[in-house]
């Protein structure tokens, strides 16, 4: 199997658009070879090596639902202020979706950036903003690829009971949405009832 990638494959590897790949090649930031037909081809190892110098800080923010969009805005403000205060060049990645969902667009982009040595540090407001389960696996990836992890609010971690209540709420919410449809009246009613139960567990 050839380790030469097309423009589209190179873009997917680095988590950017094909337009960005072409621009980087024109600017000399990455190099490409040409096929007999004149198409660009990129070497995998060359792409990764050439992008190491552009390491940046990634700030990741996530909420579970549309109802929490104000919280998402607050997270972004805190992250931007923290990164700017430290003088870091940074990018904010935002996700809207359950912490049980491993296929969120922003999370996938973050993992691609980490695994291509482009992230010098990862900044989050709380540990559970990444995932409800599996956070340690992502932290291990960061360790392997030399990405520093900064959790701003370590001292404000929730209690075991609060975590358990939130986990149960998210699990049942996901299954309820799949069973009845995320916008159905029945699903919304179940979610509201679950929220009341969860409040009582905290």
Where are the alpha helices (H) located in the chain, listed in sequence order?
7-14, 18-27, 44-51, 69-85, 105-115, 135-144, 160-180, 185-201
| 4-52, CATH topology level | Multidrug-efflux Transporter Regulator; Chain: A; Domain 2 (1.10.1660)
Tens digits of residue pLDDT in 176-194: 555 555 556 665 665 566 5
Catalytic residue among 55, 64, 65, 81: 64
Is 64 marked active-site? yes
Strands 90-96 and 56-63: parallel
- Domain-by-domain residue ranges, the chain? 4-52, 55-156, 160-201
pTM (2 decimals)?
A: 0.55
Helix/strand/coil for 146: coil
Q: How confident is the model at residue 50 (pLDDT cuts 50, 70, 90)?
A: low
Of these ranges, 11-15, 76-80, 130-134, 171-175, the one predicted with the greatest mean pLDDT is 76-80
**Nearest residue to 144 via CA among 116, 182, 170:** 116
What does the pLDDT read at residue 168?
58
Q: What is the CATH number of domain 55-156?
A: 3.40.50.1390
Q: How confident is the model at residue 160 (pLDDT cuts 50, 70, 90)?
A: very low
What percentage of the chain has pLDDT greater than the value 70? 66
CA distances from residue 37 to 3, 40, 41, 136 in whole angstroms, order as listed: 18, 9, 11, 46
Tens digits of residue pLDDT in 17-42: 788 888 888 888 788 899 888 899 99
CA distances from residue 15 to 2, 47, 165, 172, 198 in whole angstroms, order as listed: 20, 12, 35, 32, 37
Residue 87 has pLDDT above 70, yes or no: yes
Tokens of 103: 């296929």
157 and 126 in contact (C-beta within 8 Å)? yes
């Amino acid at each position: 199997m050839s380790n030469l990638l097309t423009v589209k494959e190179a873009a997917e590897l680095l988590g950017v658009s094909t337009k960005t790949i072409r621009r980087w090649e024109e600017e000399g930031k990455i190099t490409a070879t040409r096929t007999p037909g004149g198409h660009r081809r990129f070497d995998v190892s060359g792409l990764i090596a050439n992008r190491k110098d552009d390491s940046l800080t990634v700030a990741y923010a996530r909420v579970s639902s549309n109802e929490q969009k104000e919280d998402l805005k607050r997270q972004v403000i805190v992250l931007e202020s923290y990164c700017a205060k430290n003088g870091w060049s940074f990018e904010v990645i935002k996700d809207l979706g359950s912490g049980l969902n491993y296929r969120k667009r922003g999370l996938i982009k973050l993992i691609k950036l980490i695994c291509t040595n482009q992230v010098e540090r990862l900044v989050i407001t709380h540990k559970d903003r990444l995932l409800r389960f599996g956070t340690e696996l992502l932290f291990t990836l960061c360790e392997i690829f030399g990405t520093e992890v900064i959790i701003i609010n370590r001292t404000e971690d929730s209690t075991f009971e609060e975590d358990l209540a939130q986990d149960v709420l998210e699990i049942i919410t996901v299954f309820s949405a799949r069973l009845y449809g995320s916008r159905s009246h029945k699903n919304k009613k179940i979610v509201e009832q679950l929220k009341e139960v969860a409040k009582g567990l905290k």
